Structures are given as structure tokens and as C-alpha cells.
DNA sequence: CCACGAATGTTAGTGACTAACATTGTGTCG
DNA sequence: CGACACAATGTTAGTCACTAACATTCGTGG
């Protein structure tokens, strides 16, 4: 799991490539960790040293503190849902360009498999709690905070996972910007209630 | 898995009781399926015939079609989010009394364990898709429908899972009615956006 | 060239889940 | 009331994700 030295980064990349390849070719379930490891010229053990679980190759979520801060920075006189909504929209511009090239491949694989959507939910739980705690620390009742965070993050996740099913998909070369646009749309939808 | 004959119902109940007991006493992870089966006077095999997975003892979600219909029955001139919101509120009164006695024990166990929250998400996915499809069949764009369904269901789930952390817990005898109240509050929160 | 630490390999094990086939119980019908 | 038929359980053997403890190689700096 030590992702510090250049050598480590290379093997990690090899494993990721091999995994995406095999998952796309034979499906996620039909692909064993041993196969992925072999295709990457590596042992099962090494696989698990770089990715804690099989699904962690496809799912990651490193943005917690950033998002929580962006939410807390919104005006206190707004309703909790609106506050999370605007906070996420504000944070989107900051982190979006970081999206790497494999993002869209991963989204497609995850969207296709129910068990993987669950893994995404598990990963999102951390972010959810970070946002909830930030609001609670600001005087928002815990229930309200939890509901607001879950609704907004759920909306974003759903938008991402709905992408492969969408009729129009212009410019498939750069998924990153496209991903951001869809998420923005999701949060805007939450704004126009009636 | 054949839950038809009275005998089958009895063993199923025994397994469920044993599972809740052991999960509460030693924790979910520390309890193996073999232990649960033994405590229920049954084999591992039989456990899996009644519950497809270990977590399915705690997670279930049989309401899909009902909810989807309730959502579709709402006025078409509303925004998708508002439509799902009102649909769920309307359906709540219908199904709430059905909640059985173990509901609150299950909620507490699930809320305590991150991996189980993922299982809930997986179970909710079916309901989510049912609602989404109902809206799409009604002319709502797929993205909008998916976002609305995910936001509202995410809000409800978050409210349920937040319950154990709530300061006031009056009347712990009947969790069912209490559960319904919390979900209702969640959906009302989504209504007051600004 | 050698030593030192990080990265990888090896082995052995646990636990959730599955498949194929044998066995027991339970209700029904003659 | 007894036998038949079928559902429910048991048995066995296996796969796969994941973990722990210890041995080995690789790469870099002295």
C-alpha cells in the first residue's frame, strides 16, 4: 500500500490497467484477483498491498475534508439542503480537473454492476459523515444534517452512474469535464423543488 | 429459500433471532454464519437457503412496485424531485404499519457497521431503479429521474441510519411508528430548499 | 561493493458462498 | 391408517476474497 516510490507507482499502474482490461473483457465477477495479478506480472499478495479490496480498483473517494469545508463556508441562514448543495457546487470547480483518464471507464464498469454501486455507497459514507459533522458543529440538528448530506451526495452519485445510460454522449475523449457537467446538473435539479 | 410452508417460516424465524442475538452480543464481523446456524440448530447450508447472504438477515426491501406507483401517481407538472418526494410521503402511510418488531434492532446494527450500510445501498438500488423507470416512462429525462429518486431515497436511508445517534429517543417500545416519523421528517426537509 | 530498507514472494489459513447429491421430515390421498 | 411425493434439511467438496508471518529480492546510498 506504500505508494511513495516510483517503482511502487509503476506496479500500481500495471495492476490498475490489467484490472480494467480484464473487467471490461470478461466482466467483474468472472475475473479473479489472481487473474488480475497474473496479468500484471505480480502476485495476489502484491495486488492487495496496493488495493485493499478487489473493488477498490474501481472505487476511490479522496475529497472528504475539502467538501466539508466548502459546505461549512456557505451562509448559515440557508436551509441545510441548500447549504450542502451550494457547497458542493462551489467545490466542484476546484477539484474537477484532477479527474484522471480512467474515470469514465471506471464509471461505466461500476454502473453496470449492482454490487459495485454498493461499494461506491460505502466509499461515499466517509464524505457523508464529514459533511454531516461539519454542519452539526455549526448548530444544525444531526438528523437534518445527515439528510441534507445524503440527499446531495446521492444525487451526484446517481448522476454519475446514470451517464452510461444517457442518450447523448458527445466528446467521449475527455470524460472528466463531462462528468463534472453531469454532477452540476444533478445539484441544480435539487434546487428547483416545485 | 422457499418461504411457504409453516415449518420453513419457523426455522427462518429461529435463524433471524439467533443472528440478531449474536450480532448484538459479539458484533457483526466477529460472528460467523456457522455460529448463527449452530445457535439456530441448523446447518450453514440451511442458513443460506433462507438468507442469500449474511447481511440479508439485516437488510430487506420489498416495497419497490408500491413506491414506484405512488410516485407515478403524483401530478405531472411538478419537478421530478418534488414528485418523488410527495409520492414517497403518500406511500408511507400505507406501508408503515407493516414494520415488524425487529426493525429497530436491525437499524441499530446496520447503522453501527459501515459495510452494512453498503448492503442497504445495494438493496435500495432496486427501488431506485423502479422509481426512475416509472418517471422515465412518463417522459421525464433519465438523468433527472435518477437524480430525484436517489436524492429522496438517500434522504430516507440517512434519516433511518441517523436514528441511533439522535439525542431524544422517546418510546423505545414501538420503533415502527418512530421510524416512520423520522422518514417523514427527512422528506419534509427536502421540501424546504432555501 | 556492500549494507539497508522497501517492495515483492511464499505459505498457510479463515470465512462467505455454491453445487451436486443423499436424507429426513411433513402433508396428502387412497 | 399407511404409503407416496415433495419440500426442507444435511453432507461434502470446492472456489474466491482476504489476512498474517516469515523469507526473499530489488534498488539506492555509503
The per-residue pLDDT for range B154-181, each reduced to its tens digit, is 999 999 999 988 876 555 554 555 788 8
The enclosing domain of A17 has a CATH number of 1.10.10.60
CA distance B9 to B3: 6
Same domain, A94 and A131: yes
Residues from chain B contacting residue A78 (CB–CB below 8 Å): 194
Start-to-end Cα distance in chain B:
48
The CATH number of whichever domain residue A128 belongs to comes to 1.10.357
In this structure, the answer to whether residues B37 and B118 fall within a common structural domain is: no
In a domain, A1, yes or no: no
In chain A, how long is the greatest CA-to-CA distance?
56
- Domain span at B34: 6-52
Task: Identify whether the C-beta of residue B183 lies closer than 8 Å to the C-beta of residue B158.
Answer: no
Q: Is the CB of A6 under 7 A from strand D?
A: yes
Q: What is the mean pLDDT of residues B33-59?
A: 96
Hey, is the C-beta of A82 within 8 angstroms of any chain B C-beta? yes
Residue B101 has pLDDT above 80, yes or no: no
Task: Identify which of A132, A108, A130, A131 has the alpha carbon closest to the alpha carbon of residue A120.
Answer: A108
Overall domain count for chain A: 2
CB B152 within 8 A of CB B74: no
User: Cβ A162–B143 below 8 Å, yes or no?
Assistant: yes
Residue B104 binned pLDDT confidence (cut-offs 50, 70, 90)? confident
Q: Select the residue from A135, A150, A157, A161 to test the B interface by mutation, using most B Cβ atoms within 10 A.
A: A150
Please indicate, yes or no, if residue A178 is contained in any of the structural domains: yes
DSSP characters over B6-59: HHHHHHHHHHHHHHHHHHHHH-STT--HHHHHHHTTS-HHHHHHH-SSSGGGT-
The mean pLDDT values, 10 residues at a time, for chain A of 194 residues are 78 96 97 97 97 94 86 95 96 74 88 92 93 96 97 96 78 61 94 69
Looking at the fold, whether B92 and B151 belong to one and the same domain comes out as yes
pLDDT higher than 80, residue B71: yes
Whether A69 is in a domain gets the answer: yes
Is B59 among the domain residues? no
- Nearest-Cα distance to chain A for B174, in Å, is 20
**Minimum mean pLDDT range among B36-45, B58-67, B158-167:** B58-67
pLDDT value, residue B53: 96
Domain assignment present for residue A59? The answer is no
Q: How far is the CA of A45 from the C1' of C12 (A)?
A: 13
The verdict on A49 and A139 lying in the same domain is: no
pLDDT at B177: 56
Protein contacts on strand D: list nucleotides below 7 Å from a Cβ.
7-12, 15-21, 27-28
B1 falls within a domain: no
Query: Same structural domain for residues B74 and B26?
Result: no
State residue B4's pLDDT score.
75
Specify the pLDDT at position B1. Answer: 54
Q: Based on the domain organization, do B46 and B69 belong to the same domain?
A: no
A181 to chain B, any CB pair closer than 8 A? The answer is no
User: Is the domain of B187 the same as that of B163?
Assistant: yes
Same domain, B41 and B99: no
Same domain, A157 and A112: yes
**What is the structure's pLDDT at B167?**
76
Amino acid at each position: 500500500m506504500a505508494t511513495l516510490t516510483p517503482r511502487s507507482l509503476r506496479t500500481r499502474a500495471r495492476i490498475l490497467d490489467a484490472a480494467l482490461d480484464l473487467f471490461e473483457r470478461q466482466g467483474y465477477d468472472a475475473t479473479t484477483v489472481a487473474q488480475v495479478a497474473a496479468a500484471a506480472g505480480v502476485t495476489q499478495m502484491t495486488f492487495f498491498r496496493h488495493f485493499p479490496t478487489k473493488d477498490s480498483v474501481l472505487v476511490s473517494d479522496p475529497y472528504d475534508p475539502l467538501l466539508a469545508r466548502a459546505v461549512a463556508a456557505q451562509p448559515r441562514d440557508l436551509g441545510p439542503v441548500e447549504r450542502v448543495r451550494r457547497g458542493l457546487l462551489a467545490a466542484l470547480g476546484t477539484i474537477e480537473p484532477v479527474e484522471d483518464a480512467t474515470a469514465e471507464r471506471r464509471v461505466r464498469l461500476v454502473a453496470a454492476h449492482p454490487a459495485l454501486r454498493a461499494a461506491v455507497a460505502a466509499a461515499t459514507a466517509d464524505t457523508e459523515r464529514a459533511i454531516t459533522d461539519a454542519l452539526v458543529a455549526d448548530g444544525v440538528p444531526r438528523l437534518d444534517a445527515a439528510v441534507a448530506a445524503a440527499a446531495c451526495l446521492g444525487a451526484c452519485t446517481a448522476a454519475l452512474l446514470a451517464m452510461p445510460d444517457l442518450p447523448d454522449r458527445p466528446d467521449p475523449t475527455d470524460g472528466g469535464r463531462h462528468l463534472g457537467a453531469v454532477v452540476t446538473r444533478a445539484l441544480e435539479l435539487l434546487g428547483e423543488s416545485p
